[in-house]
Amino acid sequence: MLPGAARADHLGDPTVIVDDVHVVYRVNGVRPPRPAGTPRLGRLAARRAAPVVREVHAVKGVSFVARQGEAIGLVGTNGSGKSTLLRAIAGLLPPHRGRVYTEGQPSLLGVNAALMNDLTGDRNVTLGCLAMGMTPAEERAAHDPIIEFAGINERDDAAARPMRTYSSGMAARLRFSIAAARTHDVLLIDEALSTGDRRFQRRSRDRIQELREGAGTVFLVSHSASTIAETCERTIWLDAGRVRADGPTEEVLPEYERNA
Protein backbone atom coordinates (compact mmCIF):
# COMPACT_ATOMS: atom_id res chain seq x y z
CA MET A 1 0.00 0.00 0.00
CA LEU A 2 1.33 3.49 -0.84
CA PRO A 3 2.26 5.68 2.16
CA GLY A 4 -0.73 7.83 3.12
CA ALA A 5 -3.19 5.52 1.39
CA ALA A 6 -4.84 4.57 4.72
CA ARG A 7 -7.56 7.11 5.44
CA ALA A 8 -7.34 9.19 8.59
CA ASP A 9 -10.85 10.05 9.84
CA HIS A 10 -10.75 13.79 9.17
CA LEU A 11 -9.27 13.46 5.68
CA GLY A 12 -11.15 13.20 2.40
CA ASP A 13 -10.55 11.45 -0.89
CA PRO A 14 -7.11 11.22 -2.54
CA THR A 15 -6.11 14.35 -4.47
CA VAL A 16 -2.57 13.36 -5.47
CA ILE A 17 -1.19 9.88 -6.04
CA VAL A 18 2.53 9.71 -6.72
CA ASP A 19 3.44 6.20 -7.82
CA ASP A 20 7.13 5.25 -8.09
CA VAL A 21 8.05 8.56 -9.74
CA HIS A 22 11.51 9.13 -11.16
CA VAL A 23 12.56 12.48 -12.63
CA VAL A 24 15.72 12.74 -14.69
CA TYR A 25 17.16 16.02 -15.99
CA ARG A 26 19.24 15.83 -19.15
CA VAL A 27 21.94 18.45 -19.35
CA ASN A 28 23.47 19.03 -22.76
CA GLY A 29 27.09 19.78 -23.46
CA VAL A 30 28.52 19.34 -19.98
CA ARG A 31 31.76 17.37 -20.13
CA PRO A 32 33.23 15.62 -17.16
CA PRO A 33 36.34 17.48 -15.98
CA ARG A 34 39.45 16.53 -17.98
CA PRO A 35 42.49 15.36 -16.06
CA ALA A 36 45.15 18.05 -15.83
CA GLY A 37 47.92 17.93 -18.39
CA THR A 38 45.86 16.48 -21.30
CA PRO A 39 47.94 16.99 -24.46
CA ARG A 40 46.79 19.87 -26.69
CA LEU A 41 46.08 17.60 -29.71
CA GLY A 42 43.91 15.36 -27.52
CA ARG A 43 41.93 18.40 -26.34
CA LEU A 44 41.30 19.49 -29.97
CA ALA A 45 40.09 15.99 -30.92
CA ALA A 46 37.82 15.83 -27.87
CA ARG A 47 36.24 19.19 -28.78
CA ARG A 48 35.09 17.74 -32.11
CA ALA A 49 33.49 14.69 -30.45
CA ALA A 50 29.68 14.31 -30.21
CA PRO A 51 28.04 16.56 -27.57
CA VAL A 52 27.93 14.97 -24.14
CA VAL A 53 24.55 14.57 -22.43
CA ARG A 54 24.68 14.12 -18.69
CA GLU A 55 21.78 12.94 -16.62
CA VAL A 56 20.80 14.11 -13.16
CA HIS A 57 18.50 11.61 -11.46
CA ALA A 58 16.77 14.11 -9.16
CA VAL A 59 13.78 12.04 -7.90
CA LYS A 60 14.22 8.30 -7.44
CA GLY A 61 11.12 6.20 -7.02
CA VAL A 62 8.95 8.42 -4.82
CA SER A 63 5.49 7.13 -3.85
CA PHE A 64 2.75 8.52 -1.60
CA VAL A 65 -0.93 9.44 -1.49
CA ALA A 66 -2.17 12.90 -0.43
CA ARG A 67 -5.78 13.52 0.60
CA GLN A 68 -8.26 16.36 0.77
CA GLY A 69 -7.67 18.47 3.84
CA GLU A 70 -3.99 17.58 4.23
CA ALA A 71 -1.11 20.04 4.51
CA ILE A 72 2.12 18.19 3.75
CA GLY A 73 5.56 19.62 4.41
CA LEU A 74 8.48 18.63 2.18
CA VAL A 75 11.87 18.84 3.86
CA GLY A 76 15.36 17.85 2.79
CA THR A 77 18.81 19.32 2.32
CA ASN A 78 19.72 21.45 -0.74
CA GLY A 79 19.42 19.42 -3.93
CA SER A 80 17.40 16.59 -2.35
CA GLY A 81 14.67 16.94 -5.01
CA LYS A 82 11.90 18.91 -3.24
CA SER A 83 11.32 21.52 -5.97
CA THR A 84 11.66 18.88 -8.68
CA LEU A 85 8.97 16.76 -7.01
CA LEU A 86 6.63 19.76 -6.74
CA ARG A 87 7.16 20.55 -10.41
CA ALA A 88 6.40 16.92 -11.31
CA ILE A 89 3.16 17.04 -9.27
CA ALA A 90 2.25 20.33 -10.99
CA GLY A 91 2.68 18.60 -14.36
CA LEU A 92 5.58 20.86 -15.35
CA LEU A 93 8.13 18.02 -15.53
CA PRO A 94 7.24 14.67 -17.09
CA PRO A 95 8.29 11.72 -14.93
CA HIS A 96 10.97 9.57 -16.51
CA ARG A 97 9.23 6.57 -14.92
CA GLY A 98 6.16 6.13 -12.71
CA ARG A 99 2.96 8.16 -12.63
CA VAL A 100 1.41 11.20 -10.93
CA TYR A 101 -2.39 11.20 -10.69
CA THR A 102 -4.07 14.42 -9.55
CA GLU A 103 -7.64 15.43 -8.84
CA GLY A 104 -8.15 18.85 -10.43
CA GLN A 105 -5.40 21.16 -11.61
CA PRO A 106 -2.55 21.64 -9.13
CA SER A 107 -1.28 25.23 -8.80
CA LEU A 108 2.40 25.80 -8.17
CA LEU A 109 3.25 28.92 -6.24
CA GLY A 110 6.98 29.48 -6.27
CA VAL A 111 9.28 32.26 -5.23
CA ASN A 112 9.89 32.80 -8.93
CA ALA A 113 6.25 32.58 -10.01
CA ALA A 114 5.74 34.81 -13.00
CA LEU A 115 4.62 38.27 -12.06
CA MET A 116 5.61 41.17 -14.29
CA ASN A 117 8.33 43.27 -12.73
CA ASP A 118 7.67 46.37 -14.81
CA LEU A 119 3.97 46.43 -13.94
CA THR A 120 2.59 47.80 -10.70
CA GLY A 121 1.40 45.55 -7.90
CA ASP A 122 -2.15 46.57 -8.76
CA ARG A 123 -1.80 45.48 -12.39
CA ASN A 124 -0.21 42.22 -11.32
CA VAL A 125 -3.15 41.49 -9.02
CA THR A 126 -5.53 42.05 -11.91
CA LEU A 127 -3.55 39.92 -14.36
CA GLY A 128 -2.90 37.19 -11.78
CA CYS A 129 -6.59 36.90 -10.89
CA LEU A 130 -7.69 36.80 -14.52
CA ALA A 131 -4.96 34.23 -15.27
CA MET A 132 -6.34 32.06 -12.46
CA GLY A 133 -9.71 32.11 -14.20
CA MET A 134 -11.60 34.78 -12.23
CA THR A 135 -14.16 36.86 -14.10
CA PRO A 136 -13.55 40.66 -14.20
CA ALA A 137 -16.30 41.09 -11.57
CA GLU A 138 -14.68 38.48 -9.29
CA GLU A 139 -11.34 40.18 -9.77
CA ARG A 140 -12.78 43.57 -8.77
CA ALA A 141 -14.23 42.05 -5.61
CA ALA A 142 -11.00 40.24 -4.75
CA HIS A 143 -8.60 43.07 -5.61
CA ASP A 144 -8.48 45.20 -2.45
CA PRO A 145 -8.58 42.24 -0.04
CA ILE A 146 -5.54 40.78 -1.86
CA ILE A 147 -3.56 44.02 -1.46
CA GLU A 148 -4.65 44.21 2.17
CA PHE A 149 -3.73 40.57 2.84
CA ALA A 150 -0.28 41.08 1.31
CA GLY A 151 0.20 44.11 3.57
CA ILE A 152 2.27 45.87 0.91
CA ASN A 153 0.47 49.20 1.34
CA GLU A 154 1.12 49.46 5.06
CA ARG A 155 3.89 52.08 4.73
CA ASP A 156 3.15 53.79 1.42
CA ASP A 157 1.15 53.32 -1.76
CA ALA A 158 3.39 50.44 -2.90
CA ALA A 159 0.64 48.78 -4.96
CA ALA A 160 0.90 51.72 -7.38
CA ARG A 161 4.65 51.16 -7.84
CA PRO A 162 6.29 48.72 -10.31
CA MET A 163 7.07 45.37 -8.72
CA ARG A 164 10.78 45.78 -9.47
CA THR A 165 10.84 48.35 -6.63
CA TYR A 166 9.60 45.74 -4.09
CA SER A 167 11.74 43.90 -1.59
CA SER A 168 11.86 40.12 -2.13
CA GLY A 169 9.60 39.68 0.92
CA MET A 170 6.99 42.11 -0.44
CA ALA A 171 6.97 40.38 -3.82
CA ALA A 172 6.64 36.93 -2.22
CA ARG A 173 3.76 38.16 -0.04
CA LEU A 174 1.93 39.55 -3.05
CA ARG A 175 2.41 36.30 -4.98
CA PHE A 176 1.04 34.23 -2.12
CA SER A 177 -1.89 36.61 -1.62
CA ILE A 178 -2.90 36.42 -5.28
CA ALA A 179 -2.69 32.63 -5.36
CA ALA A 180 -4.48 32.22 -2.04
CA ALA A 181 -7.41 34.40 -3.18
CA ARG A 182 -8.80 31.42 -5.05
CA THR A 183 -9.60 27.99 -3.70
CA HIS A 184 -7.32 25.28 -5.03
CA ASP A 185 -7.75 21.53 -5.22
CA VAL A 186 -4.01 21.21 -4.79
CA LEU A 187 -1.79 24.16 -3.89
CA LEU A 188 1.98 23.65 -4.12
CA ILE A 189 4.02 26.27 -2.28
CA ASP A 190 7.78 26.43 -2.79
CA GLU A 191 9.52 28.48 -0.09
CA ALA A 192 7.12 31.37 -0.64
CA LEU A 193 6.12 31.74 3.00
CA SER A 194 9.55 31.94 4.56
CA THR A 195 10.22 35.37 3.07
CA GLY A 196 7.37 37.12 4.88
CA ASP A 197 7.59 38.58 8.37
CA ARG A 198 6.00 36.92 11.43
CA ARG A 199 2.68 38.72 11.06
CA PHE A 200 2.35 37.72 7.41
CA GLN A 201 3.37 34.15 8.22
CA ARG A 202 0.57 33.96 10.78
CA ARG A 203 -1.96 35.31 8.24
CA SER A 204 -0.78 32.87 5.57
CA ARG A 205 -0.93 29.95 7.98
CA ASP A 206 -4.56 30.82 8.74
CA ARG A 207 -5.31 31.08 5.03
CA ILE A 208 -3.71 27.67 4.38
CA GLN A 209 -5.90 26.28 7.14
CA GLU A 210 -8.98 27.72 5.36
CA LEU A 211 -7.86 26.24 2.05
CA ARG A 212 -7.53 22.84 3.73
CA GLU A 213 -10.93 23.16 5.31
CA GLY A 214 -12.27 23.90 1.81
CA ALA A 215 -11.14 20.34 1.01
CA GLY A 216 -7.91 21.38 -0.69
CA THR A 217 -4.49 19.78 -0.29
CA VAL A 218 -1.47 21.96 0.38
CA PHE A 219 2.18 21.00 -0.17
CA LEU A 220 4.76 23.26 1.41
CA VAL A 221 8.51 23.20 0.73
CA SER A 222 10.46 25.07 3.35
CA HIS A 223 13.85 25.12 5.04
CA SER A 224 12.16 26.67 8.07
CA ALA A 225 11.32 23.95 10.59
CA SER A 226 8.95 26.29 12.44
CA THR A 227 6.99 27.09 9.25
CA ILE A 228 6.58 23.36 8.57
CA ALA A 229 5.73 22.56 12.20
CA GLU A 230 3.11 25.32 12.41
CA THR A 231 1.51 24.61 9.03
CA CYS A 232 1.72 20.88 8.28
CA GLU A 233 0.55 17.86 10.20
CA ARG A 234 2.34 15.47 7.86
CA THR A 235 5.92 15.75 6.60
CA ILE A 236 7.82 13.95 3.87
CA TRP A 237 11.61 13.97 4.19
CA LEU A 238 13.46 13.68 0.88
CA ASP A 239 17.05 12.54 0.91
CA ALA A 240 19.02 12.41 -2.36
CA GLY A 241 15.79 12.03 -4.32
CA ARG A 242 14.29 9.28 -2.14
CA VAL A 243 11.68 9.35 0.62
CA ARG A 244 13.62 8.88 3.86
CA ALA A 245 10.56 9.33 6.10
CA ASP A 246 6.84 10.10 5.67
CA GLY A 247 4.60 10.57 8.68
CA PRO A 248 3.34 12.92 11.39
CA THR A 249 5.37 16.16 11.44
CA GLU A 250 6.09 15.81 15.15
CA GLU A 251 7.93 12.54 14.40
CA VAL A 252 9.56 13.24 11.03
CA LEU A 253 10.78 16.80 11.63
CA PRO A 254 12.88 16.14 14.77
CA GLU A 255 14.33 13.06 13.07
CA TYR A 256 15.27 15.18 10.03
CA GLU A 257 16.77 17.91 12.20
CA ARG A 258 18.87 15.36 14.09
CA ASN A 259 20.24 13.85 10.89
CA ALA A 260 20.39 16.61 8.29
Ligand X SMILES: Nc1ncnc2c1ncn2[C@@H]1O[C@H](COP(=O)(O)OP(=O)(O)OP(=O)(O)O)[C@@H](O)[C@H]1O
Residues lying near ligand X in the complex (CB under 6 A): 25, 27, 56, 58, 76, 78-84
Burial 132-147 (b: 16+ CB within 10 A, else e): bebeeeebeebbeebb
Helix axes 136-150, 121-131, angle to 10 degrees: 130
Cα–Cα distance measured from residue 1 to residue 17, given in angstroms and rounded to the nearest whole number: 12
Nearer to ligand X, 125 or 236 (CB): 236
Nearer to ligand X, 161 or 244 (CB): 244
Task: Give me the sign of the Cα torsion angle 248, 249, 254, 257.
Answer: positive
Nearer to ligand X, 77 or 120 (CB): 77
Nearer to ligand X, 67 or 82 (CB): 82
Q: How far is the CB of 23 from ligand X (least distance, A)?
A: 8
Given a contact cutoff of 8 angstroms between Cβ atoms, the answer to whether 219 and 72 are in contact is: yes
Q: How far is the CB of 84 from ligand X (least distance, A)?
A: 3
Q: How far is the CB of 249 from ligand X (least distance, A)?
A: 18
Q: How far is the CB of 12 from ligand X (least distance, A)?
A: 28
Q: How far is the CB of 25 from ligand X (least distance, A)?
A: 3
Nearer to ligand X, 86 or 171 (CB): 86
Cα–Cα distance measured from residue 107 to residue 91, given in angstroms and rounded to the nearest whole number: 10
Q: How far is the CB of 127 from ligand X (least distance, A)?
A: 26
Q: How far is the CB of 180 from ligand X (least distance, A)?
A: 22
Nearer to ligand X, 56 or 127 (CB): 56
Strand 186-190 vs strand 234-239: parallel, antiparallel, or unpaired? Answer: unpaired
The residues facing 110 across adjacent strands are 190
CA distances from 195 to 112, 119, 168, 209 (A): 12, 21, 7, 19
φ/ψ of 66, rounded to 5, equals -115, 145
Nearer to ligand X, 79 or 248 (CB): 79
Look at residue 16 and give its three-state secondary structure.
strand
Strand ranges in 107-223 using DSSP code E only, listed in sequence order: 107-110, 186-190, 217-221
